[in-house]
Amino acid sequence: MRDANKPIAFLLLSLLLLAGCSTVESTVEKVKDAQMAKDLKKYLNGYESALRWGQPGQAYGFLSPEVAEQNPVPTGLDNIHVSEYDIIGPPVFVTKTQATQTVSISYIFQDRQVQHSLVDNQMWERADEESRQWYRSNPIPEFK
């Protein structure tokens, strides 16, 4: 009788070990995902600060090298003052290396005291799943 129970005991023990491994894997993935979200938030906050409290030209430092090469910093940004930066849609992960966010930006031409608004559909990405650096992967909208 005891020999007949050994395969069942072995099967149950194997299932328990596999369940434990998947729980550990799941926990590791959750930690990675939380770190990824934290890293993205850091870059989004930096980008917002550059636009809102710095000079709009500083935001071009967040562009991916490829996009920056095709989109030089325009002249006249020193005449722009961002008065509002409102997050319309919070960051959404499209994949593990891509995310989007939508914001509304109100800005003033300082020499004319004219206010304008635009909607900025931001696309962010990182080189690979191990990279902690995020880049804006679409051009910055024109302040016109």
Domain positions in the chain are 2-136
Q: How far apart are CA 24 and CA 29, in angstroms?
A: 9
Question: What pTM does this model have?
Answer: 0.78
Fold of 2-136: Nuclear Transport Factor 2; Chain: A, (3.10.450)
How do residues 46-99 score in pLDDT, each as one tens digit? 999 999 998 899 999 999 999 999 999 999 999 999 999 999 999 999 999 999
